[in-house]
Amino acid sequence: MCSTPRPKRTIKGSAKTTGSGAILSGLSAQKRAAFVQCANQADDRRQEIKQQALKQQSAAQAQQRRKQKHLSLVNNNTLKNNRKSWRYWLVDASIKEIIFALFFIKAH
């Protein structure tokens, strides 16, 4: 009447547990060393993949921040430039502002 499910198969062999210690204790020293080396290499690969994913994620975030900053600068400049009268552009505008307005701001 216990609610804990029982395994349907019995484990054959000297080790009755399925823990990694029982599996490794049944191996020879050479096979154990080879297994450990293979496991360490797999762990190193997982760490490298994780590092690459973090680098790609940070690069994507940096690129997104640059895009947002550029868009906000363009949006701010277009708002400022829309408020300025034609007299400003003839008399007071700097060369940098004129070049920026001519080449980088889209006309509506």
- The 10s digit of each residue's pLDDT in 18-60 is 556 677 777 888 888 888 899 999 999 999 999 999 999 999 9
Q: What pLDDT is stored for residue 14 in this prediction?
A: 52
**Letter for the amino acid at 20?**
S
**pTM of the predicted model as reported, rounded to 2 decimal places:** 0.41
Three-point CA angle 74, 78, 81, nearest 5°: 135
Is the confidence at residue 71, as pLDDT, over 90?
Answer: no
Structure tokens at 46: 């997982």
Give dist(CA 43, CA 49) in Å, integer: 10
User: 81 and 101 in contact (C-beta within 8 Å)?
Assistant: yes
